[in-house]
Structure 1
């Protein structure tokens, strides 16, 4: 359902609702865009109108509250990660890796930062495995291609040699033809000899 948009001027109560919403999002570590969208729902205005009102009029009246909200946000964040300490940089294969070590010797998976880091590490490991497998496949394909090229060259040589030499079938046919010619020549010679003998009698 489309939200009704108010076009009247901003009141002090409107500004207070907008400011409280933005400050709450700052403390929670959210974004201004999310704050403006939330305020727009409450005030029945567009998020763009809320953003313009905040930046042009309201923000400068709440500078101290903004600073306090940021301090509260840092405090909340520090409480979440307070039991963790940054370990000393470790050199591994020429790459510096920063390892976070729990003081209680366990990692609490509920912390978003730790979950995100684990996901990044797993993604990098998966991509490394994929790259290694792809490299192996490429090497195998190149070897198969090289063998196929060698086979093609060998077949071409055999074909050229076969074209250069008469086939066994052709030799046999020529031999049979030659025998037939000789046989006919003998027959003709025998007939002529018979005629000569008759003529001399």
Structure 2
């Protein structure tokens, strides 16, 4: 096992990434991956994940749900108003599995009848268990959809002059056979 000053095997020229640091990043990614698996396989109606470029892109389909939004400097609870599905997108670093924040993520759904809906921006959602990009959708029918996800290169700064040269190209992922059963779970916020 390397000590704290040994460069990471990923790139021995790096002055920033050591083997123990990268191991900790992988541990974070593994924890996020377990939470994502729980979300996609036990909570959501449907879900999955695939590799796309330097990312792993996952999705989960749930009933439309209420959420807090900022409006005029205050948090305001909004229940679904006609929306009947909640599409969640998780974008992870393919190298270590950690969630990648600060992305511009869009999604397009193709209905069972071939109608294309979107693309719509999937906003960053703070969730008590799992950061993700999401929005409520209004869908015309239940059934088997195609989900297309587009991720633009992030504009955030990257630390490490060697390993920081990543996430520079847009990527697309397509999921076929996405089972959607429309529904909404309006929940009143706690008083």
- Which category describes the TM-score, using the shorter chain as reference length? under 0.3
Higher helix share: 1
Greater C-alpha radius of gyration = 1
Higher strand share: 2
